[in-house]
Structure 1
Amino acid sequence: MKIAILSDVHGNFSALEAVIADMDRRGGVDEVINLGNMVSGPLMPLQTAHFLMRQNWLQIAGNHDPQVLHETTGVRSASDAFAAGELDDPSRWWLTSLSDSLDARLHTGELWADRLGGDVAVCHGTPRSPVEYLLETAEGEGIRLALAPEIAERLGEHVPAHIRLLACGHSHIQRALRLPGGMLVVNPGAVGMPAYDVSRAHPLSNYHRVENGSPDARYAIAETLQGQWQVDLISVPYDFESTAQLAIKNGRPDWAHALRTGYMPRLL
């Protein structure tokens, strides 16, 4: 079994195309899992949605996907609102049809056992929240590797012992950790958004930045070899400059800076 794992496309259709081309070049992928946050952002939400709608992939909603459709002020961000204004009725319906990241069957391997074999679990953030990091902790103005007790507390009793591979997204940071007991936890990183910042209260931070430090699109390929899951974390170059220019055209120079550099802009 070989599985490609994607997350956090954020409407960056050019980055998604580069990932698909790289995936096709490598070949041999049995299934593709998309962990959510499909269209939010000032880029190409409609094209991205229409492409993803046509794929026979296993796809779940992230935290932004329902927010794109939520019109309440203070809930939907400017990136969500831009995407909402670009979508058509079929793409909106598709967003509402995505599997909920909090569906317990995703965490026990039951929902897609016929395609993944029953030992693979998925979530967007953690099994208990789509807006919580699993493998990282926000601290001060940055993000660090979570400590083992932090990860264990976030997993709780949601993921049973027979799960050998758990795929998560949300933090946009590529990472793979093998936990006590042997389960491999994989975050494929972000396809389309290499840096962002968050002004929301966390236990150790009221504001933090997440930065990959390069503009590449990211994804992962996990496969079973000799009965164990292992993973390749992949970084793919693409034409980020044209995407950055589109962000500027749509009024988001902060996105343009992040797309070009993998860092958030600083005030001088």
Structure 2
Amino acid sequence: MRFAAIADIHGNCAALQAVLEDIAGLGIRDIVNLGDCFSGPLEADRAGDLFLLLDMHAVQTVRGNHDRYLIETPADALASSDAHAHAQLAPRHLDWLRKLPFSTIYLDEIFLCHATPQDDNVYWLEQVSPAGHVFLKPLEEIEALADGIEQPLILCGHSHIPRAVQLSDGRLIVNPGSVGCPAYDDDKPFLHKVETGHAMASYAVLEKTPAGDWVPEFHNVPYDHMAMSRLAAENGRSDWAMALATGRV
């Protein structure tokens, strides 16, 4: 059994197309999407049409926190990245978002959510110090959030950091990284930066071995990231332009 996991596309249609081509080149047809599909100063409308096409091919998607903002927050109250995406999205895209589940189980043995099973806006595998340092969360805290989940493979996104964590009972939690946003800063829970240090699109391939173990393989895909960086700059977002150009903020 082999499939691909993508997450945190953030309206970066060029990155999404490159990743889908890379996945197809590996002969993989099954894909799961862990959310945050549109928010950003890029091409939410083009990404939306591509997601609708993927939905026709039974790509399983769960809703991210920014996906939720787009359907629950009044347009005039949206933050800038969400507002830019909302202005581009058609009713068909928003209707698709409304149908997405918060979490789901894929192929009977894989649990999917955007951030954690309880909250779509909390890092599962990372924590942030008051000084703004982002580091691996203690195992007991990670395991506490996985309480009640029986599936041997758990997939999450949200932090944009590719990472795999083995729980003490053998379950594996994997974050495939971000397709469309390699760096950002945030002020919750404390002001901090997340930086991959490269401008490539990230995703993961998950394969089940004959022994029944799940093994992640992390992929980085080059694409015309400078075109997206220039688009972000044209749309007044120098922070995104830097992130897309360098993987740093």
What TM-score range do you get, normalising by the shorter chain? Answer: over 0.9
The alignment partner of 2:72 has SS state of coil
1:98, CA displacement in angstroms? 1.1
**In the TM superposition, what are the counterparts of 1:167-182 in structure 2 within 5 Å?**
167-182=155-170
Is contact 1:219–1:233 with CA below 8 Å preserved after alignment? yes
Query: What is the rounded CA distance, in whole Å, between the counterparts of 1:158 and 1:262 in structure 2?
Result: 36
- Cα offsets for 1:101-148 (capped at 9, x unmatched): 3xxxx2xx3xx4xxx1x1111111011111111111112223111111
When the two chains are superposed, the root-mean-square deviation of aligned CA atoms in Å is 1.4
The alignment partner of 1:233 has SS state of strand
1:258 counterpart letter in structure 2? A
2:90 counterpart letter in structure 1? D
1:153 counterpart letter in structure 2? A
TM-score normalized by the length of structure 2: 0.94
The alignment partner of 2:111 has SS state of strand
The alignment partner of 1:223 has SS state of strand
- Residues paired across the two proteins, number: 244
The alignment partner of 2:127 has SS state of strand
Aligned to 1:221: 205
**In the TM superposition, what are the counterparts of 1:71-150 in structure 2 within 5 Å?**
71-72=73-74, 76-101=78-103, 106=104, 109=105, 112=106, 116=107, 118-139=108-129, 140-150=131-141
Is contact 2:200–2:221 with CA below 8 Å preserved after alignment? yes
1:79, CA displacement in angstroms? 0.4
Query: What is the rounded CA distance, in whole Å, between the counterparts of 1:71 and 1:173 in structure 2?
Result: 27
TM-score normalized by the length of structure 1: 0.87
Any stretches of 5+ residues in structure 2 without a counterpart? none
Judge which range, 63-72 or 168-177, deviates more.
63-72
Query: What is the rounded CA distance, in whole Å, between the counterparts of 1:184 and 1:71 in structure 2?
Result: 34
Is contact 1:6–1:190 with CA below 8 Å preserved after alignment? yes
**In the TM superposition, what are the counterparts of 1:22-33 in structure 2 within 5 Å?**
22-27=22-27, 29-33=28-32
1:180, CA displacement in angstroms? 1.1
Structure 1 residues 141 and 74 mapped into 2: Cα distance closer, same or farther (>3 Å)? farther
1:193, CA displacement in angstroms? 0.2
Aligned to 2:5: 5
1:154, CA displacement in angstroms? 2.2
2:196 counterpart letter in structure 1? N
2:198 counterpart letter in structure 1? S
Is contact 1:67–1:75 with CA below 8 Å preserved after alignment? no
Is contact 1:39–1:45 with CA below 8 Å preserved after alignment? yes
Query: What is the rounded CA distance, in whole Å, between the counterparts of 1:79 and 1:90 in structure 2?
Result: 20
Aligned to 1:234: 219
Aligned to 1:159: 149
Query: What is the rounded CA distance, in whole Å, between the counterparts of 1:189 and 1:84 in structure 2?
Result: 24
Query: What is the rounded CA distance, in whole Å, between the counterparts of 2:145 and 2:123 in structure 1?
Result: 9
1:150, CA displacement in angstroms? 1.7
Aligned to 1:212: 196
Is contact 1:18–1:236 with CA below 8 Å preserved after alignment? yes
Aligned to 2:68: 66
- Cα offsets for 1:1-56 (capped at 9, x unmatched): 111000000000010011011111111x2521000000000000000011011112
Query: What is the rounded CA distance, in whole Å, between the counterparts of 2:33 and 2:84 in structure 1?
Result: 22
1:73, CA displacement in angstroms? 7.9
Q: 1:195 aligns with which of 162, 183, 204?
A: 183
- Cα offsets for 1:71-116 (capped at 9, x unmatched): 4489621100111011111111111111123xxxx2xx3xx4xxx1
The alignment partner of 2:175 has SS state of strand
**In the TM superposition, what are the counterparts of 1:37-52 in structure 2 within 5 Å?**
37-52=36-51
Is contact 2:75–2:86 with CA below 8 Å preserved after alignment? no
Q: Does 1:19 align with 2:7?
A: no
